[in-house]
Structure 1
């Protein structure tokens, strides 16, 4: 029996149906995202369009033509001085976690962003006390810990921290 190949492609409005379902699971069952109400498909399409308008990638991972994860880069902050700093987001279908999909997605995202004008990539990891997989994924791909913002989010009846990690892109700090 042949093992299915994982492919990474650009997200489209059609793939956002699965993306919206994956993210809804994380919003409703995880504290990595501080959203409390899952966005609609139309809202996800608007988010996708903003990322595309900024010239940044939004990628999906497919296994046997099924979307099993996604990631994207977005502007870190709207002020002009931040224009070369971006922030990544990575979400994997709950039944596909721990299979290297996040690594494949984030690796592809970093490679794509290194071809652009961006200087630094940040990751703001929600529920950092419990989100060990995301912290480890980012460490494996060269992100360094910058610091923890203590008790900045309140979700599921508890205060949650966020942890900021940073990675140079291209020549970055050199």
Structure 2
């Protein structure tokens, strides 16, 4: 008997084969960042530094860089959020910081959201954005600015549009990374009653 024929006879028909275990549903929680999260935050961010143009940074963050950013966010009373899997894996992060340092800009922030490369397309960005905007509003923020690369960040633009951000301008050839010129798209959303009514119209 040929080995192939033996294997066919030994293999049970499809209706008698054990069914594979279903994959557990993708789940996560969103919470405030703590010091223990910072190495994971750095790893996620540095992936984009090395492999994409969604950030114009060319040098990776150090742990001191991330620690200083978290300290600044906390000092201002703003949110720095972590999305965490049930097993404790950090899947993504989001935070806001002042858009400009001059005093008159004190009610305006710039947001940042980064997901681990294996965590995209699962609703994680939506959950982080929703919580980020809610907590930013509770902290007294009135306007949120997003500065997004005009190439390679189409998903980020779409996410902001779903939350009522509108494009307020663009700049071309302001960044140079990986041997090519890059521009940015500027998007903005108002928080509070005005921001909610604007988002509802979209």
Normalising by structure 1, we get a TM-score of 0.95
Whose strand proportion is higher, 1 or 2? 1
* Map of 2:200 onto structure 1: none
Q: Following superposition, which runs of at least 4 residues in structure 1 exceed 4 angstroms of deviation?
A: none
Does residue 160 of the first structure (1) align with residue 182 of the second (2)?
A: yes
Normalising by structure 2, we get a TM-score of 0.82
- CA-based RMSD of the aligned residues comes to 1.3
In the superposition, relative to structure 1, how do residues 172 and 51 fare at CA in structure 2: closer, same or farther (>3 Å)? farther
How far apart, in 2, do the equivalents of 1:77 and 1:172 lie?
A: 22
How far apart, in 2, do the equivalents of 1:119 and 1:103 lie?
A: 20
The alignment of Structure 1 onto Structure 2 pairs a total of residues equal to 173
Larger Rg computed on CA atoms: 2
Whose helix proportion is higher, 1 or 2? 2
Determine helix, strand or coil for the equivalent of 1:14: helix
| Unmatched segments (≥5 aa) in structure 2 | 1-21, 198-202
In the superposition, relative to structure 1, how do residues 172 and 53 fare at CA in structure 2: closer, same or farther (>3 Å)? farther
Q: Which structure would you say has the larger RCO, counting Cα contacts within 8 Å and 6 or more residues apart?
A: 1
For residue 84 of structure 1, the aligned residue among 101, 104, 107 is 107
How far apart, in 2, do the equivalents of 1:124 and 1:165 lie?
A: 7
| Unmatched segments (≥5 aa) in structure 1 | none
Does residue 119 of the first structure (1) align with residue 142 of the second (2)?
A: yes
